[in-house]
Structure 1
């Protein structure tokens, strides 16, 4: 992985206080969370959960909410303070295995995706929140959960119908995220 390249830049939907992450779940997990306005069982607090600020990367991963157990897509709005806290504790998945084992948060970079799922020439960040930090994520960082499955299906339908321009207009807007330099440097982010 090349460091400090514009290829490694966080792109996200964010405002002054919050940033949107995307996750895909089964209805059994999504419905209780949406009713409660926060993650509750059967959401697993005992295993790492991966959060992604890239909408299109999650669409690739969940096959546009068609993969088993990933039929519901949630926009998970978290505090930027929590996001920075997570990233300040993160270790790259390419790091020494012992350091990775001890890390509260894992970060990996995967090729960003196009509307049709093709790998692009820049990378998208995936952040794994470990067991020791999941309660903090769920109880303190998450400020809103929104079911965007209907939007996902509309975009996927437009792509399948050959209307890429319409689909692209519906994709949530993402722009480069201004990460504090000391955090970004460790995670190979171009600031």
Structure 2
């Protein structure tokens, strides 16, 4: 997706990709202890994963918003990540892809995954020209996420606070050096077509 407005940018290696979520302490502590999401995490609710660290910072206010005080980095399999996209539907109606709104709504009902694109953010959390992907998992996708895809969960709340403090001190170069090294994820062409906005 290089050179287009919407790019999946993330930290990844040959086997895994890192996504982020922010939760209250109860859910975060239980997940860190179990190595996956367990009660009080609710599988019945849609859960949104975000490959962009800075978009997660925008969403959770650097880990200061109520109910989002703990920021977790979750390493999931690339196979699982790509499965989620292959079973996704855009969260908004796109008239170039669906003949009618009813046709889109039917796909929404039958898809366990939603894809949403929002402006990526810089270190000051200002919007950038390109967009970052958010992926909403529900139903069977949540089960696969919790049971099969997660390899590691880390608490990156201290990193979020450190980057934020460095930004507030005015040292953007030092703050940028602290960020995870995200790059454009090489989506297969069929997935580019499926999730393109």
Q: TM-score range by the shorter chain?
A: over 0.9
**Number of residues paired by the alignment?**
187
The Cα of 1:132 is off from its aligned counterpart by: 2.8
The Cα of 1:97 is off from its aligned counterpart by: 2.2
Aligned to 1:133, the other structure's residue is in SS state helix
- Root mean square deviation, CA, Å: 1.4
Write out per-residue CA displacement over residues 59-86 of structure 1, whole angstroms, 9 at most, x where no aligned residue: 0000000000000000000000000110
2:18 maps to what in 1? 20
- Structure 2 unaligned segments of length 5 or more: list them: 94-103
The Cα of 1:4 is off from its aligned counterpart by: 9.1
1:135 maps to what in 2? 143
Alignment partner of 1:97 out of 95, 105, 123: 105
How far apart, CA to CA, are the structure 2 residues paired with 1:158 and 1:35?
30
TM-score (norm. length: structure 2): 0.91
The structure 1 segments of at least 4 consecutive aligned residues displaced by more than 6 Å after TM superposition are none
Alignment partner of 1:170 out of 149, 169, 178: 178
The Cα of 1:5 is off from its aligned counterpart by: 6.1
| 1:8/1:188 contact within 8 Å kept | yes
The Cα of 1:18 is off from its aligned counterpart by: 0.2
TM-score (norm. length: structure 1): 0.94
1:117 aligns with 2:125: yes
* Aligned pairs for 1:150-165 within 5 A: 150-165=158-173
| 1:91/1:105 contact within 8 Å kept | yes
